[in-house]
Amino acid sequence: MDLQIDDFYKDAASGLLMLYQAFPRKVSLYVEDLIGREEPDEFGLPSKRHQACLGALLWLAEEGYLRYESTIGYDALDQAVLTEKGFLRLSRGIPRAISEGEALPPAVDRVQATLAFQLREALAQQHGERIARLTRQLFEQRPATPY
């Protein structure tokens, strides 16, 4: 099983959501804020898990979901912000299950239908499969489809 891919989905979603919540401000995006404190290895280098999370953030930047001005060592991306692509993907509405008779005000319904809201919910519930599905939808160029 490719557990690093599950970690990648979680790291990518967490990092993008932190930027979404700060949008449009530029912020420092610390690996430790996403995955917690990881002890360096015996040579003082960041753990493989820490390096993987930083690698996920750098990949997101290379693929155009976020931009940043510089790295702060191995610890963070400095002055990071979502790109238009990242913002639009997170804020787009996707189909979701609605309870029978559930009538929400339009503004609440719009927010809860966003990919960002549903990803945040999946992360809070630590629902690995849902995190993976929603993160893959984030990376799809075509409009999202129900899952």
Dump pLDDT digits (tens) for 36-87: 998 888 888 899 999 999 999 999 999 999 999 999 999 999 999 999 999 9
pTM of the model: 0.86
Report the pLDDT value the prediction gives residue 101, as an integer from 0 to 100. 60
β-strands 76-82, 70-72 pairing:
antiparallel
pLDDT in tens, 110-144: 778 899 999 999 999 999 999 999 999 999 876 54
Residue 98: pLDDT over 90: no
Measured CA to CA, the distance from residue 98 to residue 92 in angstroms comes to 17
Measured CA to CA, the distance from residue 10 to residue 133 in angstroms comes to 11
More confident residue, 125 or 95: 125
Mean pLDDT of 82-98: 86
Q: Across the strands, what pairs with 80? A: 27
What values do phi and psi take at 29, rounded to 5?
-105, 100
Report the pLDDT value the prediction gives residue 147, as an integer from 0 to 100. 42
Q: Across the strands, what pairs with 72? A: 76
Residue 100: pLDDT over 80: no
DSSP 8-state code for residue 66? E
Contact 38, 46 (CB under 8 A): yes
Report the pLDDT value the prediction gives residue 99, as an integer from 0 to 100. 53
Residue 5: pLDDT over 90: yes
